[in-house]
Amino acid sequence: MRKRMAHAKLSITRTARVATSKTNIYNLLNDKQREFVSYVLHNYIDVGVDELDVSKLSTVLTAKYGNIHAAQQELGTVQEIQGTFVGFQAELYRETSA
């Protein structure tokens, strides 16, 4: 029972996690990156944490931009896009002190 209570206390909804982290995340990004990350965060809230898996990045880019080339025109090289995709997640999951 104590373990379950501790887990419940540490659990945070995806919506709350995004609301808490969004400003800090967006401060690190340019306008085009913000638009992309906003799209990813919306999917994360609606679908789940699997949307943050780097193996889904090409699917996310194709869904948002139509193809990888169009995504690169907006967001930069594949390495830069991956950096944005992985980088904002560090802020999303940053532990805050209570």
What is the predicted pLDDT for the residue at 96? 60
In this model, does residue 80 exceed pLDDT 90?
yes
Q: Helix, strand or coil for residue 12?
A: coil
Q: Would 3 be classed as within a structural domain? A: no
Q: Would 8 be classed as within a structural domain? A: no
Q: Would 46 be classed as within a structural domain? A: yes
In this model, does residue 10 exceed pLDDT 80?
no
What tokens does 12 get?
């945070």
Burial class (CB in 10 A: 0-12, 13-18, 19+), 54: exposed
> pLDDT by residue (tens digit) across 17-52?
999 999 999 999 999 999 999 999 999 999 999 999
Average pLDDT over residues 4-8: 43
Q: Would 97 be classed as within a structural domain? A: no
Reading phi first (left if > 0) and then psi (alpha if -120 to 50, else beta), residue 76 is in: left
- pTM for this model (two decimals): 0.84
In this model, does residue 6 exceed pLDDT 70?
no
Non-local (6+) Cβ contacts of 19 within 8 A are: none
In this model, does residue 85 exceed pLDDT 50?
yes
Q: Would 2 be classed as within a structural domain? A: no
* Domain count along the chain: 1
Domain with 67, as residue range(s), is 13-92
